[in-house]
Amino acid sequence: MDKNDNNKAVLIKKLMVGVITLLLIMYIIFSVLKTNVTQIKTESANIITVSDAIPVSGYFIRNEYLIENNEKGIISYNFNDGDKISKDESVADIFENEDAAADHQNLKRLEQQITNLQQLNKTAKTLSATPDEIDDSINDSLNKLNLNVNSGNISDAAGNIESLLYSLNERQIVTGKIEDFSDKVKELQNKVSTLKKESTKTKSKQILSPATGYFCATADGYEKTFSTADLKNIKTGDLAENKVKRSEVGSNVIGKALEGVNWYVACEVTADEVLKIKQADANGYLGVDIPSVSSSIISVDLECVNQESQSSDGVVILKGNYMNSAMANVRREDISIVLHTYKGLYVSKNAIHEYTGPVTATDENGNEKEDNKEFKGVYALIGNELKFKQVVILYTDENFAVCKISSVKENDWLSDEFGLLKPYDEVVVEGANLYDGKIID
């Protein structure tokens, strides 16, 4: 190898070393820059409602009276499940054939339509609802109708349809598309008169209610297992499925009357849970969550507590009066006893930071004062800047907290330096080297 070749080899080596050195320097610079760029993840502070509740198995108790029929014919009910009834009121009629029974149901439907339209006529000149408000009512009826159809609450779904039709007719008046429904009422009244004339040609018999309360068209065989007279005597173990005996329901039973306006639910709970339930009742709030009956929490009262001693498990009896078709049929159900509900801002526990240090606050006279305080807060991304916002925690579980919603400083809990966490603020749940005022590139 001559001298020129050696020089070329040396040059190539130097170039390779230079390139490698340059790449190494670029890598180091990139790594440094990367560490200086804050990688963060945010979540919206949405408004949520959560409950502090005790899951239990509930057994529902009422005074129930079977309604029997020994006559032949087609039964046409006058009430839906959960409707109010009076003693000796006709809950159903018996017709000789299906056509007569169908005419009877059609007559009831027409009479209800007339009542609704006459009510609208009375209030047509004083209706104050706006089209937007009526649209909200229509949407609410549609949502409830969807829920009840999906859950099989056909009776409640029928009521939703009535409400929907009422709102649609109301909207026609409010928007000026129609002055009133007088002509429609006359048309329906003529149909009713015709049906009533035809019905007089067909004999029918009435089935009367044995009690005042609510109607239910089905019986489950547990009507006589417990009554309200037994409430204070129900002990732990009495509600077990192998101890609660079912009676055969006769083929002549066409429904039952649920006496009174109140129902009761018996639940086995631990001694600690008894204390919590008593405390919630003393605080003026106690409810039950029954998903199969209602999407809302149902208010109840503590009727009694059955315990052998204060340290033993027991049975709590809760009293309520909410009623719909599903409630009229419920017997044994998995429910939750709600001790408290919390409405606030959802914040991941990862986002909450402790702060201790000097803060400047303004007193009622407008004077500033400095003091050391300890409180919790979160970093919210406002534009491209991090802002520390103080929070007051109402409720926590393993993964998240519900924080107080507030628009003004209350009881001096908020220092002037830090803002309030507001609904839908973007809260930082992941990130390093966070501080108030930091700019995020």
Q: pLDDT digits over 236-263, tens only?
A: 999 999 899 999 999 999 999 999 999 9
Quote the CA–CA distance of 280 and 388 in Å, as a whole number.
35
Same domain, 354 and 279: no
Same domain, 165 and 195: yes
Q: Is residue 441 part of a domain?
A: no
Average pLDDT over residues 171-175: 79
Same domain, 242 and 133: no
Same domain, 87 and 134: yes
Domain total in the chain? 4
Same domain, 8 and 141: no
**At residue 357, what are phi and psi to the nearest 5 degrees?**
165, 180
Same domain, 199 and 265: no
Quote the CA–CA distance of 111 and 185 in Å, as a whole number.
10
Look at residue 426 and tell me whether its pLDDT is greater than 90.
Answer: yes
Q: Which domain holds residue 3?
A: 1-36
Q: Is residue 5 part of a domain?
A: yes
| Residue where a domain terminates, one of 341, 362, 384 | 341
The pTM of this model reads 0.70
Same domain, 296 and 280: yes
Q: Is residue 365 part of a domain?
A: yes
Same domain, 363 and 390: yes
Q: pLDDT category, 201, cuts 50, 70, 90?
A: low
Q: What confidence score (pLDDT) does residue 411 get?
A: 47
Q: Is residue 225 part of a domain?
A: no
Q: Is residue 83 part of a domain?
A: yes
User: Which range (151-160, 172-181, 207-216) has the least confidence?
Assistant: 151-160
CATH number at residue 289: 2.40.30
| Residue where a domain terminates, one of 341, 365, 394 | 341
Q: What confidence score (pLDDT) does residue 48 get?
A: 92
Q: Is residue 221 part of a domain?
A: no
Quote the CA–CA distance of 73 and 104 in Å, as a whole number.
14
Q: Is residue 350 part of a domain?
A: yes
Same domain, 178 and 189: yes
Same domain, 70 and 154: yes
Same domain, 244 and 149: no
pLDDT digits (tens, 9 = 90+) for 17-72: 666 777 677 666 655 544 445 588 999 999 998 999 999 999 999 999 999 999 89
∠ CA 89-93-99, rounded to 5° = 155
Same domain, 310 and 425: no
Q: What confidence score (pLDDT) does residue 412 get?
A: 46
- HEC secondary structure over the chain: CCHHHHHHHHHHHHHHHHHHHHHHHHHHHHHHHHHHCCCCEEEECCEEEEEEEEEEEEEEECCEEEEECCCCCEEEECCCCCCEECCCCEEEEEECCHHHHHHHHHHHHHHHHHHHHHHHHHHCCCCCCCHHHHHHHHHHHHHHHHHHHHHCCHHHHHHHHHHHHHHHHHHHHHCCCCCCCHHHHHHHHHHHHHHHHHHCCCCEEEEECCCCEEEECCCCCCCCCCCHHHHHHCCCCCCCCCCCCCCCCCCCEEEEEEECCCEEEEEEECHHHHHHHHHHHHCCCCEEECCCCCCCCEECEEEEEEECCCCCCEEEEEEECCCCHHHHHCCEEEEEEEEEEEEEEEEEHHHCEEEEEEEEEECCCCCEEEEEEEEEEEEEEECCEEEEEECCEEEECCCEEEECCCCCCCCCCCCCCCEECCCCCEEEEECCCCCCCCECC
| Residue in 72, 70, 68, 98 with CA at minimum distance from that of residue 202 | 98
Look at residue 413 and tell me whether its pLDDT is greater than 50.
Answer: no
pLDDT digits (tens, 9 = 90+) for 295-311: 889 999 999 999 999 99
Q: Is residue 438 part of a domain?
A: no
Average pLDDT over residues 84-103: 89
**Crossing angle of helices 98-123 and 182-199, rounded to 10°:** 150
Q: What confidence score (pLDDT) does residue 208 get?
A: 96
| Residue where a domain terminates, one of 325, 341, 357 | 341
